[in-house]
Structure formats: C-alpha cells, structure tokens
Amino acid sequence: MIVLGISCYYHDSGAALVKDGQLIAAAEEERFNRKKHDSGFPALAIEYCLREAGVTIDDVDHIGFYEKPLVKFNRILETILAGWPGTLKPWLKAMPLWLGHRLHIGREIQKHLNTDKDILYCQHHLSHAASAFLVSPFDEAAIITADGVGEWTTSSWGMGRGNTIEMQKELRFPHSVGLLFSAITAYLGFRINDAEWKVMGLAPYGKPSYVDKFREIVDIKDDGSIRLDLQYFAHHHSTTRTISGRWSKLFGEPQRNPETELTDFHRDIAHSGQKIVEEIMLKTATHVHRVTGSDNVCIAGGVGLNCVANWRIFQESGFKNIFIQPAAGDSGGALGTAFYIYNTVLGNPRTFRMDHALWGPSFSNEEIKSTLEGVGAAYEVVNDEQDLLQRTAQMIADGKVVGWFQGRLEFGPRALGSRSLLADARSNKMKDVINAKVKFREAFRPFAPAIIKERAHEYFEMPEGMEAPYMLLVPMVRPEKREVIPATTHEDGTGRVQTVTEEQNGRYYRLIKRFGELTGVPVVINTSFNVRGEPIVCTPRDAYNTFVKTGIDVLVIGDYVVTQKAGDVDYDAGMRRSVALESESVVKSGVATQ
C-alpha cells in the first residue's frame, strides 16, 4: 500500500510518501528548485519521493491533498463580500486565481502527475494533527494545532488514540494566534511566513514594555481562546496588509521598513509580542491538559515552531511528555495527510515512529567526487572515518567554520546535522563571524547548540535523558556553563538545543563526541548550511556554491575535505546577493486569496 501526500499553493510546498505504513521520503520543493518557501506544485519533491521508493505514480494507491479547497474558497468569498466594496482589489486578485485553477486542484494534481487517480482531501488542521500524533511515540495523546489559517480553523485541540483522531474544539478565522504573530512580524519589518523566528530571536533583547498595549488588541480567555480587536488588523479584508493604521497609532511608532535600524522600541515590541503568544499557547495547553487528563501532548502548525512557547508548555502546562515533528508547518501537511489516509481512513495500525528528520535525498561518494571534479575543486579524500572526525573536530576547535554535508537531507526548516554549518560554541566571537561573513544576516540572530544527548542535562536545565532532536525546545543554559558555550547562549540565558544520538545521527554524533573528547566540551554551533534568502543546500553542487561565495573555511562533504576556493570571497557582494535573493523570495502577506 503506497500513499502520496501533497501540500502546496500557500507556502512551503512539499511531498511525503508512505509505503506499508513506513515513511520512505519527505521533502520541501524549495530544496530542489532553490526558491525559498516556494508555494508551487511540488513536482520535484514528488519526483524524488517516487524515486526514493523505487516506484512510479502508477504504483501509488492513494494521493492526498492537505486541505479542502472548496471550504477554503468559501471562507475567502465570505471574507471579501463582508468587506465590500472596500475589498474590490482583493476580489479582482483572488477570483482569477481561484476560478482559474485552485477550485480545480484535483484536476491540477492529476494533470501534473499524468494520472487519473482520485485525489483525496484532508482538512488543513486535521493534516497538522495527524502529522504530529500519528508519527509520535505515544499510543494516546492530546493534540494542539495552531497556525495562521487553514480553511476556517486557526487553532484546534483534540485527542489521538491508536490510529484515530478526534478534534474537539477549534478557533475560527479571523481570530488567530498565528496571524497575531504574523502581524507583529510585519510591524517589525520582517517577512511573514518566514521571519517569525527573527521576532523570537530579537525578543530576549527587549523588555515587556508593551504587554498592556497588546492586551488592547487581543482578548485572551482562560482556555487560551482569543478574540482579536479587528480594527487593528487588515488580514480579514486585505491581500497586501496584515495591520491597519490604528496599530501604529496604538504603539506610537510607524511600521519599520525592512533593513533599517532596530531600536529599543522594536526590541520591546518583539519581547512583549512573544510574551503574549506564549501566554496564549500556555493557557491553551493548560486547559487541554486539564480537560483530557493526558500526560502526553503533540503540537503542530506553524506556531508549533515557536520553540520558546513549546518549552513553557513542557514546563508549566502539566503535560509530562511533548512531541513536535520537525516539519510542523505547512510542508508537514503532506506528511500528515499521507498517514491520516493510511492509518485513520484505511484503518491500518500504526507501525511507524518518527525518530529523526532525515527523509530527503543523499549522495554517494562517487556522486560527490564527480561534482567536485566537475567544478574544478581541489579536494582531499579521507577514507578513514576516525581520521576524518579527528581532523574536522580539530578544525572546529581551531576556530574554523565547517560546512558539514552528510547523508540524507533534513525535512523541515531546521538543519539537524546533515546540511549544517558547524563551529566552536566556546568562542565569544564565532556568532558575529558566522552572521557577518557566512550567513550575511542580522547580528542578533542566535545559533543553536548541538550536544550529545547523554551530556545535555549537564549543560542545560532539562531532565537527564530528555530528547530535543529537532531544535524545537529552548531550555535555560545552566549558569555555570554560560561562559563555557557563549556562542550558543542567547541574551536571556537560553539555548535552542539539539540533542544528538548515534542511533539517529550517526557520523554527526560521532563528530560532536570526538570534539568533546578533544576540548572537554561536547557542544558545537549548528546552523543551517545556507545564506540569507536561500534554502538549505540539497546537492553537492549547492554545497560547493555556498562554500565558495561565503566565509566558510572548510567543506567536509561525504569523505571529501575541501579547503581551497577559487579566488577571494567578496563578502560585500555576498551580502548584496543574499539581500536580493531574500527580496525576490518575499512571501505574499495576504490572507484573503490564500
């Protein structure tokens, strides 16, 4: 039995393939076509999934789409008509798009795949719920979903038992914690559906000066449900704006223009807005725990990537165990749809547990060598793994930034040790070096610490043996360790930790362990192998291209080590290019047409 799940036409399109209850492959389209947050049909991701499974579309038994287009169109139509005639422009923009092909997504999918197989549709938030629970380690668990908006639902909660899911309550558009956070993101001059984690990164530098102001625009109930004061928002009647002019009047400053200076005001807005979002999610989780009585909770949806809120839920809501799969946003809808069809619709028992995020393509040493020779790279082959690990660990200890390309590509927005940039967490200066000369991004952006799991409790205030494999939890760094790993200790003393095991991460684990033996500190910086405005690298050619145009010192790719570049790196040109790429990949902020 083969099931193909598809998510697309909003942002972060992707595909996932399940065969006989096991996940075979899952990937985002952006990794293949190099268009960050691409929303188009995931033809390349689907092609990869089929190839990885060794099948064709004719072998697929069921094809599922992650939401219900007719229900979504109903919401868009009602939203536009409710604001008429002020919504004429959204009408003119939305109708050709929807009447042209989005109302006929089934036929569009069939056309793209050259098949006449029926297309099955799963509700958007049910896809999220399934993506979390059906691949979790729990036989039963409470489920919480939260994002901008699906069809009508913006957040929901329910219970999963065995292979069944029963969602019990929902919040509906236009009241949405995800859209509230998008409004904060837009007000701070960042791109929505992409830069929300910039708000999280900026928040620790500010103060809760505007929490009371935020309470004027959002009413938070004890159960975590909310009502937005819509006079401050525009998402319910505009395709180009998220906030109204009243927002700026309330807070006393105009919306920040992108790439301009960040002031204490912006830092305080980020801090206050993040606190409000944490309060909403914590109240929701506390209520759900009280009602369900479950010890376990699964979280999905874009807000599930808010790792600070996740940690507070784990610490304060009453749940003992928490699971968030690595592609909690829209691309994960493909995963959820595939498993919902296989397990819940078809009634097959659950036999799969997601223990890692490595579901994308891998490349053999022969393919890597061919690429390096094709671009004229000077390389050294190191066939002995112990030698490779020793040399790489020493280079990191010596202050080098290492491009680390090994095994299968990660699924989801985080690089987790297969397509990563690695550096020394002990170095005070390393954060600034990577931001300025490698990532070409804002100086306030934090870096994640990767640590072998058995030592994590020594460095972070988390239970011994606890897993945090996907960088979705943010515990405090123990006070006595903050000066030991300053490069990965954020302004508020936290760290977006990744715990690493040999079973899940293989060579990456062995490298960090060797670095710990060499230095006494089993922690490295792990950040994604890309530059601002580009997706994480997928292929050896992507990796080499990023290596030569940035300040990465060494590329360790398979069994090959590349240390020389052709010519000098023009960092200013790299910065200009990365900003241009980011500008080109702007995610449209409208909601009415989506």
Q: Can you say whether residue 462 is alpha, beta or left, with left for phi > 0 and alpha for psi between -120 and 50 degrees?
A: beta
Strand partners, 172: 153
Tokens representing residue 184 in the block: 């904060």
Distance CA 219, CA 280 (A): 10
Top-level class of domain 2-66+68-121+330-345: alpha beta
Q: Is 79 exposed, middle or buried (0-12, 13-18, 19+ CB in 10 A)?
A: buried
Q: What pLDDT is recorded for position 238?
A: 62
**CATH 3.30.420.40 domain range(s) in the chain:** 2-66+68-121+330-345, 172-323
- Please give the CATH number for the structural domain made up of 172-323: 3.30.420.40
Q: Assess whether 11 carries a catalytic annotation.
A: yes
Q: What is the mean pLDDT of residues 2-18?
A: 96
Q: What pLDDT is recorded for position 590?
A: 41
End-to-end CA, the chain: 32
CB distance 320 to 292 below 8 Å: no
Q: What percent of the chain has pLDDT over 70?
A: 94
CA angle 268, 269, 275 (to 5 degrees): 90
**CATH 3.90.870.20 domain range(s) in the chain:** 365-584
Backbone φ and ψ of 418, nearest 5°: -110, -35
Q: What is the mean pLDDT of residues 423-450?
A: 85
- The owner of tokens 């010596």 is 398
Q: What is the mean pLDDT of residues 482-495?
A: 95
Q: What pLDDT is recorded for position 570?
A: 54
Q: What is the mean pLDDT of residues 184-189?
A: 95
Please say if the pLDDT value at position 252 is more than 80: yes
Helix axes of 177-187 and 264-292: crossing angle, nearest 10 degrees: 170
Residues in the chain, overall count: 594
Distance CA 314, CA 477 (A): 16
Q: What is the mean pLDDT of residues 95-111?
A: 85
Q: What pLDDT is recorded for position 586?
A: 40
Q: What is the mean pLDDT of residues 102-125?
A: 94
CB distance 394 to 404 below 8 Å: no
Helix axes of 540-548 and 365-374: crossing angle, nearest 10 degrees: 40
Q: What is the pLDDT of residues 493-530, one digit of tens each?
A: 999 999 999 999 999 999 999 999 999 999 999 999 99
Tokens representing residue 268 in the block: 């305080």
Please state the separation of Cα 160 from the chain's center in Å. 23
Q: What is the pLDDT of residues 255-305, one digit of tens each?
A: 999 889 999 999 999 999 999 999 999 999 999 999 999 999 999 999 999
| Number of other residues whose CB lies within 10 A of the CB of residue 70 | 11
Q: What is the mean pLDDT of residues 100-118?
A: 91
| Comparison of pLDDT for 151 and 578, the residue scoring more | 151
Q: Which of 197-211, 214-228, 557-571 has the lowest mean pLDDT?
A: 557-571
Q: What is the pLDDT of residues 30-66, one digit of tens each?
A: 999 999 999 999 999 999 999 999 999 999 999 999 9
Q: What pLDDT is recorded for position 484?
A: 97
Helix axes of 88-100 and 69-82: crossing angle, nearest 10 degrees: 160
CA angle 335, 341, 344 (to 5 degrees): 110
The catalytically annotated residue of 11, 266, 356, 490 is 11
- As a whole number, the mean pLDDT across the chain is 92
- Residue (of 308, 145, 305) closest to 224 by Cα position: 145
Q: What is the mean pLDDT of residues 398-413?
A: 97
- Residue (of 475, 469, 466) closest to 493 by Cα position: 475
Q: What pLDDT is recorded for position 82?
A: 80
Q: What pLDDT is recorded for position 583?
A: 44
Please say if the pLDDT value at position 574 is more than 70: no
Q: pLDDT grade, residue 584 (50/70/90)?
A: very low
Q: pLDDT grade, residue 240 (50/70/90)?
A: low
Q: What pLDDT is recorded for position 99?
A: 78
Distance CA 474, CA 464 (A): 15
Q: Is 220 exposed, middle or buried (0-12, 13-18, 19+ CB in 10 A)?
A: middle
Q: What is the mean pLDDT of residues 372-395?
A: 97
Annotate 104-130 with b (16+ C-beta within 10 A) or e (fewer).
ebbebbbebbeeebebbbbbbbbbbbb
Peptide bond before 85: cis, by omega within 30 degrees of 0? yes
CB distance 507 to 385 below 8 Å: yes
Q: What percent of the chain has pLDDT over 90?
A: 82
| Number of other residues whose CB lies within 10 A of the CB of residue 250 | 18
Q: Which of 308-317, 454-463, 570-579 has the lowest mean pLDDT?
A: 570-579
Q: What pLDDT is recorded for position 87?
A: 77
Architecture of the domain made up of 365-584: Alpha-Beta Complex (3.90)
Residue 278 three-state SS? helix
Tell me the pairing of strands 560-562 and 226-228: unpaired
3-state secondary structure 513-526: HHHHHHHCCCEEEE
**pTM strictly above 0.85:** yes
